[in-house]
Amino acid sequence: MIVNISLPDNTKYDITIDTLKKQYFDRKVVIVTNPTVSSLHLDYLKEKISAKELSVVTVPDGEQYKNMETIEAILEHCFEHKLNRNSLLIAFGGGVIGDMTGFAASIYQRGIDFIQVPTTLLSQVDASVGGKTGVNNKYGKNLIGAFHQPIAVNIDPHFLTTLPKREFGAGIAEIVKMAVTFNKDFFQWLEKNNLNDEKNIKTAIAKSVETKAWVVSQDEKERGLRAALNYGHTFGHVIENETNYNTYLHGEAVGIGMVMANELAKKIGYMSEGETLRVKHLLEKYDIPTSYKIEDVEDFYEHFFLDKKSLDNRIKFIVPKGIGDCEITDLISKENVIEVLKGFSN
Closest contact distance (angstroms) between CB of 333 and a copy of itself is 20
Q: Among the options 136, 167, 174, 303, which is catalytic?
A: 174
Check whether 248 is labelled as a binding-site residue: no
Closest contact distance (angstroms) between CB of 86 and a copy of itself is 6
| 313 is annotated as an active-site residue | no
Check whether 63 is labelled as a binding-site residue: yes
Closest contact distance (angstroms) between CB of 145 and a copy of itself is 5
Closest contact distance (angstroms) between CB of 112 and a copy of itself is 10
Closest contact distance (angstroms) between CB of 291 and a copy of itself is 31
73/79 Cα distance (integer angstroms): 10
Check whether 62 is labelled as a binding-site residue: yes
Q: Among the options 28, 77, 233, 280, which is catalytic?
A: 233
Q: Among the options 28, 148, 226, 278, which is catalytic?
A: 226
Check whether 98 is labelled as a binding-site residue: yes
Give the residue with the Cβ less far from a copy of itself, 40 or 144.
Answer: 144
Three-state secondary structure readout of 215-273: HHHHCCCCCCHHHHHHCCHHHHHHHHHHCCCCCCCHHHHHHHHHHHHHHHHHHCCCCCH
Check whether 130 is labelled as a binding-site residue: no
| 327 is annotated as an active-site residue | no
Q: Torsion-angle region of residue 55: left (phi > 0), alpha (psi -120 to 50) or beta? A: beta
Burial class (CB in 10 A: 0-12, 13-18, 19+), 32: buried
Instruction: Count interface residues toward a copy of itself (CB under 8 A).
Output: 37
328/11 Cα distance (integer angstroms): 27
Give the residue with the Cβ less far from a copy of itself, 266 or 308.
Answer: 308
Distances (CA, A) of 301 to 141, 234, 294, 296: 16, 10, 10, 9
Residues 65-124 that bind a copy of itself (CB under 8 A): 68, 72, 75, 79, 82, 84-86, 103, 106-111
| 262 is annotated as an active-site residue | no
| 132 is annotated as an active-site residue | yes
Q: What is the CA radius of gyration of the chain?
A: 20
Rounded (5°) CA angle 17-285-292: 105
Amino acid at 329: T
Q: Torsion-angle region of residue 313: left (phi > 0), alpha (psi -120 to 50) or beta? A: left
> 309: how many CB neighbours lie within 10 A of its CB?
18
Check whether 316 is labelled as a binding-site residue: no
Check whether 97 is labelled as a binding-site residue: yes
20/44 Cα distance (integer angstroms): 9
Residues 136-155 that bind a copy of itself (CB under 8 A): 137, 139, 142-147
CA-wise closest residue to 261 among 333, 182, 345, 337: 337
| 237 is annotated as an active-site residue | yes
| 278 is annotated as an active-site residue | no
Q: Among the options 136, 142, 230, 262, which is catalytic?
A: 230
User: Using CB under 8 A, which of the segments 134-142, 200-208, 257-265, 294-302 binds a copy of itself?
Assistant: 134-142
Residues 212-251 that bind a copy of itself (CB under 8 A): 221
Give the residue with the Cβ less far from a copy of itself, 8 or 164.
Answer: 8
Q: What are phi and psi of 50, to 5 degrees?
A: -130, 160
| 226 is annotated as an active-site residue | yes
Q: What are phi and psi of 278, to 5 degrees?
A: -60, -45
* Binding-site entries for NAD(+): 61-66, 95-99, 119-120, 132, 141, 159-162
Interface contacts to a copy of itself, rule CB under 8 A: 8-10, 28, 68, 72, 75, 79, 82, 84-86, 103, 106-111, 132-134, 137, 139, 142-147, 221, 305-306, 308, 310-312
